[in-house]
A = this chain, B = another copy of it.
Amino acid sequence: MNPYKYMKNAIIVGQYKPGTRLTEKALADELQVSRTPIREAIKQLEVDGLITPYKKRGYVVKSFSIEDIRQIYNVRALLEGYATGEAAVMRTEEDLERIAAKNTAYRQAIEAVDRENIETIQYIQQINQQFHSEILFAARNDHLKALIERVVVVPIIFRSFYWYDERQLMRSLQVHETILQAIRHRESDRARVAMQEHIYQGRDDVIEALQKQNILQDE
């Protein structure tokens, strides 16, 4: 695994926590490579907005306020809503089948969920991402796709923050169904709105979970 992917993953899974200081030397030692490839990775992570320079002495992993998260999710809702609307117009039959397949997989994953087993939840998240990816592909707009992939990094970091309860999972499934049907019937506007709602829901779940956690920290 190259340094960029390694470090990005480390940030996403929380191995490098927000506020962690990163220096080229330390990273080079950890990944057993020289500073050159590390510098490269750092530059990329910087434009990704995942790390930020720390007074000319290395970098720190960015931390996100609740307001940051709200803004990011709002932009994501805008972009991914638009993409979904476009997908409803541009999709081929094959696109539709692939999206439908992910939706079926999603339903099955939810039916098979086992709260004792974290992997079943991670699997749901994974299928969910694939559903979104298929829609993005069907929208046939590479620039839009690239932009969304950038915006989506932070939501991915925080995806482990919401442990859907049964009710949330079912609601999420229903919205997926709605989106699929709207794309099927080429109802662009409805597809857009349903996706936006889906993402706003995710936003609120994350924010709620974060606020609960903060309260716990204060006590």
Residues in A lying within 8 Å of B, measured CB to CB: 36, 39-40, 43-44, 47-49, 68, 71-72, 74-75, 78-79, 82, 141-144, 146-147, 150-151
- Contact in complex: A71, B39 (CB < 8 Å): no
- Contact in complex: B71, A141 (CB < 8 Å): yes
- Contact in complex: A75, B147 (CB < 8 Å): yes
Which chain B positions have C-beta within 8 A of A48?
Answer: 47
The docked-state distance in angstroms from the alpha carbon of A40 to that of B44 is 9
The docked-state distance in angstroms from the alpha carbon of A49 to that of B144 is 12
Which chain B positions have C-beta within 8 A of A79?
Answer: 75, 78-79
The docked-state distance in angstroms from the alpha carbon of A174 to that of B184 is 41
Q: What 4 A-B pairs come out closest when comparing CB atoms?
A: A71-B141, A71-B143, A47-B47, A72-B143
The docked-state distance in angstroms from the alpha carbon of A74 to that of B145 is 13
The docked-state distance in angstroms from the alpha carbon of A187 to that of B90 is 32
Point out the residue from B71, B143, B151 that lies within 8 Å of A68, measured CB to CB.
B143
Q: A40-B40, A49-B143, A75-B144 are in contact. List 14 more A-B contacts (CB 8 A).
A: A36-B36, A39-B40, A43-B43, A44-B47, A47-B47, A47-B48, A68-B142, A71-B141, A71-B142, A75-B82, A75-B141, A75-B143, A143-B151, A150-B150
A68 nearest in chain B by CB position: B143
The docked-state distance in angstroms from the alpha carbon of A10 to that of B215 is 52
